Structure 1
Amino acid sequence: MRQFMSANSVFYLQRDVYEEYEEYKDDFKQVIKERETRRLIFLHQSPQIFYRGSLVQYVKMVCIDRGLSHSSLHLAVYLMDLFMDNHHVIPEKLLLVANVCLMISAKLEENALKIPKISELNALIGNRYTTLDYTNLEVLVIQFFNFYLNFPCAVHYVFYYMQEFICYEDLKGDRNVRTLFYDLYDAITVHLDRIIEDVHYMQCYKPSVLAAAVIAASRLDIGLSLWTQQLENLTEYTEEDLRDVAQILLKNDGLQCAKCTPPSIIKCIDSM
């Protein structure tokens, strides 16, 4: 975490890169908002919903152990949620689904050296599946998403919004930029971990809204104002747009959903 601002960090923005970004800022906004519309609808009908908590903790543990990014973690959970929401997977195959979704997300989000191998993931769960099990399910998952897997998650928007998450007015008193930056980043990390623990955060809010609310809640956590004009200009969300979601994040009580009744079986793939 403390290498966050170093020159070899993915979040470090050199001056020439920043100037190039400024030239295409409006185009970039349009592209990322368009990607958001391509996310699949969550139907709240996963037959395996009661296993989700342990599966998310498992994927999180693997990401920490392998040093994978928040982006890999969140995308893996998103893929897993949508796949489970549309299939009936026998419990004995759920860890296979989790490993395959993580492997796919790492291929999209990490450099080649950090992508976990099938043998490495399989070893973590006692080598209970074959290589063919992994390759067959990977093809099935990719086909289910119609070969489009570059879905934006809240974490992607958070990293984009972080360029404006501190403003000059935040530096009043004895605050300094470095301390403020790390305190805010730590608070953001806590909320990013929380939003993958409850499926409704990731599936019931647009990623851009959820990301903005994460930053707003994190600002309140460390004693700053909820929102700033710079953030409003960048995100195109006002303080009023985010207040309710930010308060829900701060309470951390979880979300209730009337749609999550005992689900029907959508598609059986017990034989995968």
Structure 2
Amino acid sequence: MELEGQWWKGELAEDIYQALRYKELRLPAYKGQSPQLSLRRYFADLIAIVSNRFKLCPAARHLAVYLLDLFMDRYDISVQQLHMVALSCLLLASKFEEREDRVPKLETLNSLGCMSSMNLVLTKPGLLHMELLLLETFQWNLYLPTAAHFIEYYLPVAVNETDLHDGWPMTCMEKTMLYMSKYADYFLEVSLQDHAFLRFVPSLVSAACVASSRVILRLSPSWPPRLQRLSAYSWEQLLPCVQKLLIAHDSDVKEANKQKCPPSGAPSTQTVFPAPGSSVSLQPFMQRQNTQYMQPLVMSTQAPPSYRTHTAASLQASTAPLQSLEAKVNLPGRQYQLNPLYPCSAPCFDR
């Protein structure tokens, strides 16, 4: 049976969801011990850029990054080989998640501007060899649930007419649902950028993306009983993951405000984010131009700018800028420190 399209609305939705929950409990262990862990975000950005170029589904992008994480966790790989590994992971994921006509073609990949900036030319034998190595590493099993596989199951009930906005009944369900979908996509991208989210099972990350979106949109209750029943997660279980997502959101807001700061002596156009309960616009998120997706990539040993700061541009509506009631979220009394990366030796890349 081909499970394509809106499976979460079909009669088998609950069975498929339970099968995914069962499978996620048996995902390969991730130790975070890759010697190239500091470059991980760069290659996650590379996968996101190429995925965006070919308009691949979120499930393919998330699966590709997860395959890369697992492979890097097991081998010590040179930077040049990592480029090949990352693109091979994307190709495998797209073959598993997308229709055949949407899978990126070799010639099109080689024609991308970012390929020339990396001095990388893909060959068919090289890709086949790398794909075979990846499949053998994962024992030919690519049925690996990610947060992107769960999000559509939660979204249909993420907003309800009984929800309150700032303590008042909602005036526009359609717009609220649109914002919910866009913010959930944004938080999914946030979770893709940091390997620290791999400590949580994918269904919890996905539920936390919905919960974080409700917090940002100031919907109450933050985690209503219907979502708790559907996901089987309580607010207390989601809170550690939600905190990490909101910290990243706060960081992106600050970065957006920095980029809006004018040169010295010029009139200020910086957006000031008021305290919770006040109304602001999404303009800081919408200042990012879509052309930034395909800027040439330059390899560096330092952490590159995060792709998630570019994904905020997806909050822009197709016809006109949408206005939102948004506030910078503070969770008093909570600790926001992420666990530091820890170096560890890994086996040699020998194939």
Q: In which range does the TM-score fall when normalised by the shorter chain? A: 0.7 to 0.9
Instruction: Name the counterpart of 1:235.
Output: 231
1 or 2, which has the higher helix percentage? 1
1:154-194 per-position Cα deviation (integer Å, ceiling 9, x unaligned): 11111111121112312653422210111111111111111
Which residue is 1:169 aligned to?
A: 162
SS of equivalent residue, structure 2 residue 110: helix
Secondary structure of the corresponding residue to residue 56 of structure 2: coil
Distance 2:38 2:218 in 1: 36
Distance 1:213 1:234 in 2: 13
| Structure 1 residue 250 corresponds to structure 2 residue 246 | yes
Q: Are residue 222 (structure 1) and residue 210 (structure 2) matched?
A: no
Distance 1:173 1:207 in 2: 32
Q: Distance in 2 between matches of 1:191 and 1:107?
A: 25
Question: Alpha-carbon deviation of 1:64?
Answer: 1.1
* Deviations, residues 181-238 of structure 1 (Å, cap 9, x unaligned): 111111111111111111111x110111111111000011111121111111111111
8 Å Cα contact 1:184-1:219 kept in structure 2: yes
Deviations 1:68-101 (A, max 9, x none): 1111111100000110110111111111011100
Contact map agreement 2:162 2:169 (CA 8 A) in 1? no
| Structure 2 residue identity aligned to 1:48 | Q
Check conservation: 2:33, 2:73, Cα contact below 8 A: yes
1:89 to 56, 72, 77: 77
Amino acid aligned to 1:178: E
Matched, 1:32 2:20: yes
State the TM-score, normalized to the length of structure 2.
0.67
Question: What residue identity is the alignment partner of 2:227?
Answer: L
Q: Distance in 1 between matches of 2:171 and 2:37?
A: 44
Cα 1:255–1:85 shift into 2, 3 Å: farther
Residue 103 of structure 1: aligned partner = 91
| 2-structure distance, mates of 1:237, 1:96 | 38
CA contact (8 A) 2:212 2:242 kept: yes
Q: Is contact 1:118-1:134 (8 Å) kept?
A: no
Structure 2 Cα separation of the partners of residues 120 and 38 of structure 1 = 36
Pick which of 130-139 and 117-126 moved more. 117-126
The counterpart of 2:343, out of the listed 252, 257, 262, is 262
Q: CA separation in 1, counterparts of 2:195 and 2:240?
A: 18
Distance 1:98 1:255, change over 3 A: farther
Q: 2:53 aligns with which of 45, 54, 65?
A: 65
Q: Aligned pair in 2 of structure 1 residues 145, 255: CA closer, same or farther (>3 Å)?
A: farther
Higher alpha-carbon deviation: 230-239 or 112-121: 112-121
Deviation at 1:120, TM superposition (A): 2.3
Amino acid at match of 2:138: F
> Which residue of 1 is the match for residue 180 of structure 2?
184
Q: After superposing the two structures, state which structure 1 stretch, 186-195 or 139-148, moved more.
A: 186-195
Aligned equivalent of 1:131: 124
CA contact (8 A) 1:80 1:97 kept: yes
In structure 2, C-alpha distance between the alignment counterparts of 1:73 and 1:28, rounded to whole Å: 20
**Pick aligned residue for 2:101 from 109, 113, 116:** 113
- Counterpart position of 1:157: 150
With 156-165 and 68-77 compared, the bigger mean Cα shift is at 156-165
Once the 2 structures are TM-superposed, how far is the Cα of residue 11 of structure 1 from its aligned partner?
4.2
SS in 2 for 1:168: coil
Identity of aligned residues (%): 28
Cα separation, partners in 2 of 1:84 and 1:178, compared to 1, 3 Å = same
1:6 match: none
Larger Rg over CA atoms: 2
1:43 is displaced (CA, Å) by 1.3
Deviation, structure 1 residue 243: 2.3
RMSD: 2.1
Deviation, 1:118, is 2.5
Paired positions, count: 253
Distance in 2 separating the partners of 1:116 and 1:155 = 20
The amino acid that maps onto 1:200 is A
